[in-house]
């Protein structure tokens, strides 16, 4: 009693207002706002030293917060790097190393952890690649509201179908906040604009007409400005914890990489990272020490006073808010090359060296050679040996029974020790640029453009399973069925385990009247993935055509077991019955 009276008196004597503020702050935890800007190179933001662009909103946030000058993502692709931000785990440990790989339930997410503390949670995404119903299953865990895309969009343009403009995304977030004023909030806003294709709206398309990537960044910044102004107008800004981070950078032709995903150079792994603390404490601070995006979630939990004992691959950054602390080792991982049949890459970066494990390994002296142009790899070097030991330690964490390891180990696109014997991505980057261009052209409904790029990619590698598949699928769309069958058959021979390729081949053969061939392809596809309803319906119809009524009936019945109201399966059963009479 006596002791507490003395303490109270002492605190009143020192700072009466502080004591009152602390009590209020403890009662209401701060709103937490996460802004991720896609494909944002740190060195293309004004407050990171790039004077050819105006980014007033990001710069303003840096002025009122702490700017980390050297922050690194472990992954150069969107789903993987966002999963790292939302779990505090490295890609090999959370297991989401490619699109559509589900996040294992064993890994708690940022939203789940804050939800457990009474937060109201919502996510607003700018691209279908983060849609939890299709390409990012599990990423919505813990969110009261997750703003997915419409399931069936007839729109020809990309807007609203595969991508939302930044202003659209922030307005959706603002509308949600207006109708859900009760805090504390955790809101995640994802601005996809700087991702290619670079198509900023006016006036950014004019101001930056020779540098459209920069135009997209400036436009995304204006959307951020709109959102921050909204928060200020509703009195939510001052006491909020706001974190801004890029999910990865962009190659822009460095190391011949046009976009991102294949390599682990700084061009695609160095990202902006800014923390605006409640009540602007530590405002204007810049931290030079090397940090990682795995550190973000542990920091947030530290700041909101969570006692959660989760295992993270990062640590709280709080030590950097007040004083100097040493830089941290940043790992890099990309399994994205596996999608094309090339070796995955791993890297270990400290503030002086970067080692990249590849079929032809690389080592860069970052102080003398910040652009990573002069490979000084030598087998016995000290840093190489230490890096390899660290990578081995990381692999050892991934036992077959470890969560995140098991769910994807069977899947294509997951690194195994054998996969490091595949072709070096350095020899394949031109091909990847072409495949990427074809993918964007297909998304934009430009089949002639897509075909041109795919044919060029096949000139570089006639046995590219990805190019053969993309071309075959394109020809299915353009109704050139016999060409489609040829390309998909070649892709199927190279990758017999790919259910989608076998399904496509079945479709093409059915259209050309080769029903026996279609039957074999569809049976093979369903053996790999029995849950494909459209493939099963088509197989039922192929059996009808082959006059095998019992086999047709089996397929339609199987569909009705999982989807009792499936109209096509019901129509199939009716046809079987009519033929039997």
CB-CB contact of 464 with 431 (8 Å): yes
Question: In the complex with Zn ion, which residue's Cβ is closer, 80 or 490?
Answer: 80
In the complex, the smallest distance separating the C-beta of residue 271 from Zn ion, rounded to whole angstroms, is: 10
- Binding to Zn ion (CB under 5 A): which residues in 57-76? none
Q: How, if at all, do strands 362-365 and 345-349 pair? A: unpaired
CB-CB contact of 299 with 70 (8 Å): no
- By beta carbon distance, the residue nearest Zn ion is 78
Question: In the complex with Zn ion, which residue's Cβ is closer, 196 or 523?
Answer: 196
In the complex, the smallest distance separating the C-beta of residue 190 from Zn ion, rounded to whole angstroms, is: 9
- Taken in order 89, 94, 98, 104, the sign of the CA dihedral is negative
Q: What is the spatial distance between Cα 579 and Cα 384, in angstroms, rounded to a whole number?
A: 70
User: Which one of the spans 38-46, 83-91, 267-275, 554-562 is the region binding Zn ion (CB under 5 A)?
Assistant: 38-46
- Binding to Zn ion (CB under 5 A): which residues in 539-558? none
In the complex, the smallest distance separating the C-beta of residue 178 from Zn ion, rounded to whole angstroms, is: 28
In the complex, the smallest distance separating the C-beta of residue 195 from Zn ion, rounded to whole angstroms, is: 6
Q: Is 78 in the site for Zn ion (CB under 5 A)?
A: yes
The number of residues that bind Zn ion (CB under 5 A) is 3
Question: In the complex with Zn ion, which residue's Cβ is closer, 78 or 92?
Answer: 78
Q: How, if at all, do strands 353-357 and 345-349 pair? A: antiparallel
Residues sharing a CB contact under 8 Å with residue 66, sequence separation 6 or more, in sequence order: 274, 275, 276, 277, 282, 285, 286, 287, 320, 321
User: Which one of the spans 77-85, 160-168, 328-336, 414-422 is the region binding Zn ion (CB under 5 A)?
Assistant: 77-85
Question: Quick check: bond before 203 cis, omega within 30?
Answer: yes
Q: Is 525 in the site for Zn ion (CB under 5 A)?
A: no
Q: Is 407 in the site for Zn ion (CB under 5 A)?
A: no
Question: In the complex with Zn ion, which residue's Cβ is closer, 147 or 163?
Answer: 163
Q: End-to-end alpha-carbon separation of the chain, Å?
A: 94
Q: Is 38 in the site for Zn ion (CB under 5 A)?
A: yes
Q: Please tell me what DSSP assigns to residue 127.
A: B
In the complex, the smallest distance separating the C-beta of residue 56 from Zn ion, rounded to whole angstroms, is: 23
Give the phi and the psi of residue 122 in degrees, each rounded to 5: -150, 145
Exposure string for 231-241, b = 16+ CB within 10 A, e = fewer: beeeebbebbb
Question: In the complex with Zn ion, which residue's Cβ is closer, 41 or 346?
Answer: 41
In the complex, the smallest distance separating the C-beta of residue 38 from Zn ion, rounded to whole angstroms, is: 4
Question: In the complex with Zn ion, which residue's Cβ is closer, 40 or 297?
Answer: 40
Return the number of other C-beta atoms located less than 10 Å from residue 305's C-beta.
11
In the complex, the smallest distance separating the C-beta of residue 118 from Zn ion, rounded to whole angstroms, is: 31
- Taken in order 403, 407, 411, 413, the sign of the CA dihedral is negative
Q: Is 247 in the site for Zn ion (CB under 5 A)?
A: yes
Q: What is the spatial distance between Cα 370 and Cα 538, in angstroms, rounded to a whole number?
A: 55
In the complex, the smallest distance separating the C-beta of residue 76 from Zn ion, rounded to whole angstroms, is: 8
User: Which one of the spans 35-43, 203-211, 523-531, 561-569 is the region binding Zn ion (CB under 5 A)?
Assistant: 35-43
Q: In the structure encoding, which two tokens stand for residue 104, read together?
A: 């294992």
Question: In the complex with Zn ion, which residue's Cβ is closer, 190 or 328?
Answer: 190
Question: In the complex with Zn ion, which residue's Cβ is closer, 78 or 121?
Answer: 78
The site for Zn ion (CB under 5 A) is made up of 38, 78, 247
């Amino acid at each position: 009693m006596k002791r507490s009276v003395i303490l109270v008196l002492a605190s009143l004597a020192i700072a009466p207002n502080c004591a009152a503020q602390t009590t209020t702050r403890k009662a209401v935890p701060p709103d937490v706002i996460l802004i991720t800007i896609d494909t944002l190179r740190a060195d293309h933001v004004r407050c990171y030293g790039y004077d050819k662009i105006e980014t007033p909103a990001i710069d303003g946030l840096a002025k009122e917060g702490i700017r980390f000058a050297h922050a690194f993502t472990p992954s150069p692709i969107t789903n993987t790097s966002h999963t790292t931000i939302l779990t505090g785990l490295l890609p090999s440990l959370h297991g989401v190393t490619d699109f559509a790989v589900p996040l294992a339930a064993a890994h708690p997410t940022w939203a789940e952890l804050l939800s457990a503390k009474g937060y109201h949670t919502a996510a607003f995404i700018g691209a279908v690649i983060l849609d939890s119903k299709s390409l990012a299953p599990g990423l919505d865990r813990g969110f009261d509201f997750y703003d997915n895309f419409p399931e069936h969009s007839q729109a020809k343009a990309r807007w609203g179908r595969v991508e939302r403009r930044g202003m659209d995304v922030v307005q959706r977030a603002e509308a949600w906040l207006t109708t859900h004023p009760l805090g504390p909030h955790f809101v995640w806003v994802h601005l996809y604009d700087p991702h290619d294709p670079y198509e900023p709206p006016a006036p950014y398309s004019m101001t930056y007409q020779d540098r459209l990537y920069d135009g997209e960044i400036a436009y995304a910044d204006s959307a951020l400005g709109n959102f921050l102004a909204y928060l200020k107008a509703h009195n939510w800004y001052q006491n909020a914890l706001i974190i801004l981070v890029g999910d990865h950078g962009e190659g822009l032709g460095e190391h011949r990489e046009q976009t991102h995903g294949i390599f682990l150079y700084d061009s695609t792994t160095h990202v902006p990272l800014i923390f605006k603390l409640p009540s602007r404490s530590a405002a204007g601070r810049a931290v030079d020490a090397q940090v990682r995006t795995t550190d973000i979630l542990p920091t947030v939990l530290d700041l909101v006073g969570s006692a959660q004992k989760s295992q993270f691959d990062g640590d709280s950054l709080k030590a950097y808010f007040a004083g100097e602390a040493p830089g941290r080792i940043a790992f890099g991982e990309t399994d994205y090359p596996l999608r094309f049949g090339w070796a995955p890459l791993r890297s270990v970066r400290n503030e002086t060296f970067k080692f990249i494990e590849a079929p032809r390994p690389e080592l860069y002296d970052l102080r003398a050679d910040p652009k990573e142009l002069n490979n000084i790899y030598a087998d016995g070097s000290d840093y190489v040996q230490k890096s390899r030991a660290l990578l081995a330690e990381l692999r050892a964490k991934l036992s077959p029974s470890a969560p995140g390891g098991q769910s994807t180990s069977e899947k294509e696109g997951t690194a195994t020790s054998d996969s490091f014997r595949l072709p070096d991505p350095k020899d394949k980057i031109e091909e990847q640029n072409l495949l990427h261009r074809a993918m964007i052209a297909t998304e934009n409904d430009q089949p002639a453009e897509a075909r041109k790029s795919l044919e060029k990619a096949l000139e570089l590698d006639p046995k590219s399973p990805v190019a053969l598949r993309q071309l075959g699928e394109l020809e299915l769309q353009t109704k050139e069925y016999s060409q489609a069958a040829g390309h998909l058959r070649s892709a199927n021979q190279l990758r017999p385990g790919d259910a989608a390729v076998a399904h496509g081949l079945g479709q093409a053969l059915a259209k050309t009247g080769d029903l026996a061939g279609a039957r074999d392809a569809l049976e093979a596809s369903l053996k790999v993935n029995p849950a494909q309803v459209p493939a099963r319906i088509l197989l039922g119809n192929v059996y009808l055509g082959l006059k095998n009524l019992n086999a047709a009936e089996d397929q339609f019945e199987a569909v009705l077991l999982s989807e009792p109201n499936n109209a096509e399966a019901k129509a199939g059963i009716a046809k079987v019955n009519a033929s039997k009479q």
